[in-house]
Amino acid sequence: MKFSISKNELYAALQIVGHAISSTSPQPSLRGIKIDAENDQLILTGSNADVSIQKTLEKNEDNQLNIMEEGSILIEFRYLNDIVRKIDSDFILVEIIDGSLTKFSGNSAVFKINGMVARDYPIIDFSKPATFIKMNTQQLAEIIEQTTFATSTKEQKPVLTGVNFKLSDNMLNCTATDSYRLAKKTIALDFEGEFNITIPSKSLNDVKSTMLSDTNEEIEIAMNNKKAQFIIKDMIFQTRLLDGVYPETDRLIPKEFKYTLNMNKDDLIHAIDRTIFIKNDNMIINRLQCSSDEVVLTNKSQEIGESIENLVASFNGDPLDISFSGTYVLEAIRNLKGNNLVISFTGEMKPFILKTTDDDTVLQLVLPVRTYN
């Protein structure tokens, strides 16, 4: 194998594929990136067994790829990344000089690194599943931003560490919950089929950081009962799915409400943010007391002190006294678009809904906290 390529183009590709690499993997081959040089293209593959990324660099004016000899090699990512980053040259020449010994050269710098033979790399099936949908990259970015924060970080219920994608009747419902809060994003899709899969939130956040920088692109999401693929341009991001039946979360969402609070979203963000230093057992617990005359937000700790603030808001319903996790409400409203916030309540110890009048595709739900004030 022997090829030359633009340093910047190769380095940018390595940063993308590197998202799939685990430097602590017990399997040496999974600590490396597989490089295949063939047919005027360079294919970079990385995997940690749960996530796999394949990036293809076609010969063009930007990368000025020149393949002089086809072949394959497997090189540990941390060494490969450092070499490409530190070589002081616009172009890099890469060649296998003896078995798996690989030479990297640019200007006066030369590195020789022991690689691994490509056949040691596990076989990864990048075949495209038969079921797939298409959407704009901006739509997918919004789904990820507005749901993944609500997934569970605990492994006791693995299925809750991901976002559930459920399509039926041309409506895609994306739901995340950790049992104490819920985030749901709904979009209409022109697709007649049905599916119900749960994708790990970490995989989705990696998709966002590696694939969704251009908001004007179309992205394909292909899936079967084992894996999901995100396909755009010259890149495939493949992830395993989470096993287990996702809970029927729709029954948790109230259908009727007795109380409604309307206010500016940023005003509530700033009001809660001003109280975050007051914690009980390392938790931010805010108390909201609402009536037709006033809306008061308080936070109290015997060790630290107390915060009391009158909010500019409009409240409809009988007087209400409810407490909640300030962290959960902050994360929920920060991921709502628009400024006209509507919070709907059914009772002091029942879940409440946060939405904005500007975007009816997103719903945030938070469970209250029992306090003894």
Query: What is the per-residue pLDDT across 263-287, written as a single tens digit (0 to 9) for each?
Result: 999 999 999 999 887 777 678 899 9
Domain 2-120, what fold? DNA Polymerase III; Chain A, domain 2 (3.10.150)
pLDDT computed for residue 321 by the predictor: 95
pLDDT of 372 higher than 90: no
> CB under 8 Å to 73, separation ≥6 — which residues?
1, 34, 35, 96, 100, 102, 115, 116, 117, 118
* C-alpha span between 166 and 244 (Å, rounded): 14
Return the pLDDT at 74: 96
Q: Strand, helix or coil at 238?
A: strand
Name the more confident of 213 and 322. 322
In the prediction, which pLDDT does 135 show?
Answer: 93
**Range with the poorest average pLDDT among 57-66, 120-129, 214-223:** 214-223
Q: What is the rounded CA–CA span in Å between residue 267 and residue 310?
A: 11
Q: Residue 79's pLDDT is what?
A: 94
CATH code reported for the domain at 253-366: 3.70.10.10
For residues 321-331, average pLDDT:
95
* Residue 302 confidence (pLDDT) above 80: no
pLDDT at 305 > cutoff 90: no
Q: Matching CATH topology for 2-120 and 135-250?
A: yes
pLDDT above 60 for 373:
no
Instruction: Measure the CA dihedral 67/13/161/181, to 10°.
Output: -150
Checking if the pLDDT of 320 tops 80, the result is yes
- For residues 25-42, average pLDDT: 94
Q: Which position has the token pair 């206010």?
A: 263
Is residue 73 scored above 60 in pLDDT?
A: yes
Q: 318: exposed, middle or buried (C-beta count within 10 Å: 0-12, 13-18, 19+)?
A: exposed
Task: Select from 3.30.43.10, 3.10.150.10, 3.40.250.10, 3.40.50.720 the CATH code of 135-250.
Answer: 3.10.150.10
Average pLDDT over residues 30-42: 95
Amino acid at 135: M
Task: Give the domain ranges of the chain.
Answer: 2-120, 135-250, 253-366
Confidence label for 38 from pLDDT (cuts 50, 70 and 90): very high
The structure tokens listed for 134 are 């298409």
Tens digit of each residue's pLDDT (9 = 90 or more) over 155-164: 789 999 999 9
Closest CA to 131 of 271, 25, 241: 241
